[in-house]
Amino acid sequence: MVIEQYEGGLPLHLTDPSRSAIKTMSESEYLTMSSKEIQDVLRHKHILISDCAFQQLEFDADGLRTLCPPWQTIEVQGEVLSLAVSCFIDTSL
């Protein structure tokens, strides 16, 4: 289990970041990194970004519209998805 890898009751990314599979950084630190620097980190660790600015969204038609229009087809991890699910289609568009 993951808890078995804790030290002093805390996960490695807090107690010994060099041994952790997670690299933590602030949003401002992440935004200053180049794509190459990010890829270099991702070769060895997952990135956990703290202090992120975000907008609260609901999982509804309005929330999904922030991703793309509901009639647009998008690709996610090599899979083509259509967000035009009948319960989310706004017929007034």
* The pairing of beta strand 22-26 with beta strand 73-76: unpaired
pLDDT tops 60 at residue 5: yes
Count of domains for the chain: 2
Residue 7 DSSP code: B
pLDDT at residue 91 is higher than 70: no
| Local confidence band at 82 (pLDDT 50, 70, 90 cut-offs) | low
For residue 66, pLDDT over 50 is answered with yes
Instruction: Give yes or no: residues 6 and 35 share one domain.
Output: yes
Let me know whether 45 and 61 are in one domain.
Answer: no
Residue 67 lies in domain: 57-93
Whether the pLDDT of residue 51 is over 50: the answer is: yes
| Residue 79, beta-bridge partner list | 76
44/76 same-domain check: no
More confident residue, 10 or 91: 10
Alpha-carbon distance of 23 to 30, in angstroms, equals 11
Residues 74 and 43 in one domain: no
Mapping DSSP to helix (H, G, I), strand (E, B) and coil, where does residue 36 land?
helix
First to last CA, the chain: 49
- What predicted TM-score, i.e. pTM, was given to this entire model? 0.55
Tell me whether strands 46-50 and 22-26 are parallel, antiparallel or unpaired: parallel
